[in-house]
Amino acid sequence: MRYLPLSPDDRREMLAKVGVDHVDALFADVPKDKLLDKLPDLPLAKSEIEVERQLSQMAARNLSAGQAQGFFVGAGAYRHHVPASVDHLIQRSEFLTAYTPYQPEISQGTLQVLFEFQTQICMLTDMEVANASMYDGSTATAEAVLMARRVTRRKKAILSGGLHPQYRAVVENMERFSGGDLVEMAPAIGEPEDLISQIDEETACVVVQYPDFFGQISDYGKLAEAAHAKKALLIMVVTEIVSLGAIRSPGSQGADIVVAEGQSLGCGLDFGGPYVGLFATRQKYIRQMPGRLCGKTVDADGQPGFVLTLSTREQHIRREKATSNICTNSGLMALAFSIHLTLLGEKGLRQLAMINHANAVQLADELNKIKGVEVLNESFFNEFTIRVPGSAHDLVEALAAKGILAGVPVSRLIPDDANLDNLMLVAVTEMNSGDQITALKAAIEGELR
């Protein structure tokens, strides 16, 4: 017998309770052009084996990172080597099946892992406290803006033009419901960005990316001083966490909140997720930090133990007093991150970072030799922007047809600026060999002849 959980009368009663006449009213906040007015063009029914066959055929059309003759794609998600021991350890039953640690007496292992993870994030960022992770870097950025507004009791947030367009879009989406005020600088590379002049007594925070979307590395010390002079906060966003093994920490530059994407350590590309958001701040702002925080304490017998010290989430307290509606953390991905970083250690992370940078320098030097190609960065870690003759999109597609994933056309992420059509982001990691770098140079030269 088919299971129908709700009768028409049940539905009418539920809709009446929430004060709407029709179920469509529940989707009023979804933009109209995103709603379907008919069923998608898919078969109504197929057998399991038919579905597997069709999806396999569709998947075979993809050129994955591992299959490509060269993979130079970055723009916020990076292909790094993940040691086999990471996947082995996270699949141990005590980790893979562990549930949210609401009961500390039976969750000591999980809580200790998260405590160690938080410690690692503080050491990486040079901040005083970190939470037990968030969903990803973009939502962590949006939460940081909300937190800055709570701390300063102001609404204005200034977004750098170097902030990743998708991170910017998440913050913009949040703005539709939070009633804040955004000042968004135009994307640009090679030109100084005057963020300081935008700061006033109404400013809650300034949001910058480090290295920025175009790969440029800047010193934000003076910006932090200017923000603090107006009692505003500096939020620094890191999309490539491995970079902190080579460049100055955000904390040393005066950042008040640091958010990051932790995918580079322990997490494969995985078609876009799941990833892990990192969030750290100063001790004095700890009670405004979203998510949850694990702490170390002692029990009634004086024995050390771990607990959820702060969980100011709407699941635990009255919704209007919650700091966040993110109800969990990316626990398994945080574990993978922590295991990978533990295996590396400080020395290993620094070595990994230097290999990434050295490979990027080698590629930049090679690409600069190609007639018509120009590397635009004055500085970079493992990713930089090049200008090519003609359309960067067309060049990337032509090289993909030859089995080389050469990078990301800037126009794919910033489609409305014709001045960016000939710009391409190129990322290099320890996974790129010298032969691949040589092959990319030769392939670009061949296409530009």
E strand segments, 285-343 = 293-298, 304-310
What is the rounded (10 degree) CA torsion for 41, 46, 48, 51? -30
Q: What is the pLDDT of residue 132?
A: 93
- CA angle, 35 then 38 then 40, to 5°: 90
Give the C-alpha separation, 121 to 128, whole Å.
Answer: 9
- Residue 403 is given by DSSP the state T
Residue whose structure tokens are 């008919």: 38
Q: What is the pLDDT of residue 29?
A: 86
Neighbours of 402 (CB within 10 A): 14
- CA angle, 332 then 99 then 139, to 5°: 50
Q: Which residues pair with 374 in a beta bridge?
A: 387
- State the pLDDT confidence band at 297, using cuts at 50, 70 and 90: very high
Give the C-alpha separation, 105 to 258, whole Å.
Answer: 31
> Among residues 286, 343, 274, 320, which one has the least CA distance to residue 129?
286
C-alpha pair distances (Å), 69 with each of 81, 164, 433, 437 = 16, 27, 10, 10
Contacts of 419 (CB under 8 A, 6+ apart): none
pLDDT in tens, 235-286: 999 999 999 999 999 999 999 999 999 999 999 999 888 999 999 999 999 9
Radius of gyration (C-alpha) of the chain in whole angstroms: 24
C-alpha pair distances (Å), 59 with each of 42, 49, 63 = 17, 15, 9
C-alpha pair distances (Å), 265 with each of 136, 241, 324, 367 = 13, 8, 26, 28
- State the pLDDT confidence band at 319, using cuts at 50, 70 and 90: low
pLDDT in tens, 96-141: 877 777 788 888 989 999 999 999 999 999 999 999 999 999 999 9
Neighbours of 268 (CB within 10 A): 16
pTM for this one?
Answer: 0.91
Domains, the chain: 70-77+345-448 (3.90.1150.10), 84-341 (3.40.640.10)
Q: Which residues pair with 310 in a beta bridge?
A: 293
Q: Are 413 and 179 in contact (CB under 8 A)?
A: no
Question: Pairing mode, if any, of strands 304-310 and 293-298?
Answer: antiparallel
Give the C-alpha separation, 202 to 209, whole Å.
Answer: 22
Q: Are 279 and 134 in contact (CB under 8 A)?
A: yes
Q: What is the pLDDT of residue 317?
A: 57
What is the rounded (10 degree) CA torsion for 344, 348, 354, 356? -30
Half-sphere exposure of 395 (CA within 13 A, CB side): 31
> Among residues 356, 277, 272, which one has the least CA distance to residue 117?
277
**DSSP string for 164-203:** -HHHHHHHHHHHHHH--EEEEPPP-SSS----GGG--TTE
Query: What average pLDDT does this structure show over 196-205?
Result: 98
- State the pLDDT confidence band at 303, using cuts at 50, 70 and 90: very high
Q: What is the pLDDT of residue 182?
A: 96
Mean confidence (pLDDT) of the chain: 93
Q: What is the pLDDT of residue 322?
A: 72
Terminus-to-terminus CA distance in the chain, angstroms? 67
